[in-house]
Chains A and B, each alone.
Chain A
Amino acid sequence: DTGVSQDPRHKITKRGQNVTFRCDPISEHNRLYWYRQTLGQGPEFLTYFQNEAQLEKSRLLSDRFSAERPKGSFSTLEIQRTEQGDSAMYLCASSPGTANQPQHFGDGTRLSIL
C-alpha cells in the first residue's frame, strides 16, 4: 500500500494562467474524490469518479474546472484562467467501492495565485 500520491505539492502561478494537478490513488481503489480546503475550513467535496466515470460534481466546481480519470487509475484536475479565489489546498482521496469504508487522502497540492 503506497498511499495516495499528489503532484505537485505546491503550485504558484499568476492570475489567469491554467494549472493541472495529478492524483495517483491506491491501486485497488475504484473510487477517487477531489476536495478543496481553504484556510481554517474543513475540506469541501468537488467531484468524484467511480473507475473512469465522473459521477457527480459539486456546485463549487465552476466551468473553469475540469477533472478526468481516463483509464480509471490516476486523475487530473485542471483549473483554467485561475482567479485569486482559487487559492486553496486541493486534496485527493481514494476508497474501495463499498459503503462504510474510509477515504485515504494524499498530502494535497497547495495552489497560490499571485
Chain B
Amino acid sequence: GAVVSQHPSRVICKSGTSVKIECRSLDFQATTMFWYRQFPKQSLMLMATSNEGSKATYEQGVEKDKFLINHASLTLSTLTVTSAHPEDSSFYICSANWGSEQFFGPGTRLTVL
C-alpha cells in the first residue's frame, strides 16, 4: 500500500508561536491531500482539502488565516498553525488517496502551553 509520512510526530510550543506540520506521500503523487483534527476521545474532523498548485478548501468553521495550508508539490503539503493557543492542542492527521483507498499519516500531536 501507499505510505504517507508526517513530521514532526510531536511538538510542544508556547502560546502565540507558529507551528508547521509536513505531510508527504512517499511512494506516490497526491494532487489532493486532506487535513484532519482529532481531539482526545473524539472522532476525526476534516479541516481542509489541500490542492496542489491552488488554494486549499476549508471546511465550515475552520479559519483559513489561522491554519495555513500550502501544497507546493505533488508529494508535500504543509499545515501551519499560526499564533497557536492551548485550544489548538490536538492530534493533526493528514491523508491522501491512492486509488479508492485513503492513506493516513501517523499524525502530529500538538501541545500548546
A, B from the same assembly: no
B residues adjacent to A (C-beta < 8 A): none
A residues adjacent to B (C-beta < 8 A): none
